[in-house]
Amino acid sequence: MAAPKPSRWAPLESNPDVLTEWAGLVGLSTKRYAFSDVFSLDDEMLAFVPQPVKAVLLVFPLTDEIDAQRKETDKQIAQEDSQPNLDPTIFFIKQTISNACGTIALLHSIYNTDATMVPTSALQKFQQQAMDMTPDQRAKLLETTDLFATAHAAAASGGQSSMPENLDTNDHFVAFVQAPDPENPGKQRLIELDGRRPAPLDLGPSENLLKDVATVFKTKYMALAEEGKFALISLGPA
């Protein structure tokens, strides 16, 4: 039986080099894929982000205002049963470990795309073990597995910021991907994946992932944004 692991991890830094290092250590083919900063939301500047974009990470301070807004959205969805049918192949993990949002967002961004994983790597082993599990069961597996411990420690200590004496942080990571539309073959839906939320969140039709995430940020987060406190990071060609 696996030994219990700490319920709080050292937070990952929202640094594309650190995230690419983590992904490479656990089995992403970083000769082909890497994480990159998205410096501007202007359409002209988005064109300079390495294409095609496979996933987008949003990092933001989980303030009381933002948290309350998100909880109200989740409550309305549950009451109105307003979410469309989701593609059943979406791989979703609940977050039960404090500060694990970065790791979970990375897993969501890789497992829900066609990014290449190295055979027998930690990424592939965890995916195989968790494939038929519920999101809560996957969370339990993440709590006890040793597959990501070395990579997480290396990446968490390798960022540009010094490691804090205490591990409290309100920075939060979520991932955005495209998933097939079950109701319209050949079409895509924009999906937000956040282990703190009850389930994947369908944000509507999607034709251009990066532009669609930029629109979501402008409409849902821009008014709450403090300059320098938000980051968008893409997963795409190295």
Higher pLDDT, 2 or 183: 183
| Strands across the sheet containing 33-38 | 33-38, 231-237, 55-61, 171-180, 188-193, 201-205
The answer to whether 101 is a known catalytic residue is yes
**Is residue 126 included in any domain, yes or no?**
yes
The structure tokens 């009381």 sit at 64
**Is residue 9 included in any domain, yes or no?**
no
Give the chain's mean pLDDT: 89
H helix or E strand, kind and range, residue 152: helix 149-156
Q: Which sign, positive or negative, has the C-alpha torsion 135, 23, 110, 108?
A: positive
**Is residue 92 included in any domain, yes or no?**
yes
Active-site hit among 49, 101, 104, 213:
101
The answer to whether 237 is a known catalytic residue is no
Active-site hit among 94, 138, 172, 197:
172
State the pLDDT at residue 108. Answer: 98
CATH number at 207 reads: 3.40.532.10
**Is residue 1 included in any domain, yes or no?**
no
Domain count, the chain: 1
Rounded to whole angstroms, how far apart are CA atoms 146 and 38? Answer: 32
pTM, entire model = 0.91
State the pLDDT at residue 3. Answer: 47
**Is residue 209 included in any domain, yes or no?**
yes
**Is residue 118 included in any domain, yes or no?**
yes
Q: What type of residue is 179? A: A
The tokens describing 146, both together, are: 């040793």
Full residue range of the structural domain in which residue 131 is found: 16-237
pLDDT digits over 160-205, tens only? 554 455 566 788 999 999 999 999 999 999 999 999 999 999 999 9
**Is residue 7 included in any domain, yes or no?**
no
**Is residue 207 included in any domain, yes or no?**
yes
Q: Where are the beta strands (DSSP E) in the chain?
A: 33-38, 55-61, 171-180, 188-193, 201-205, 231-237
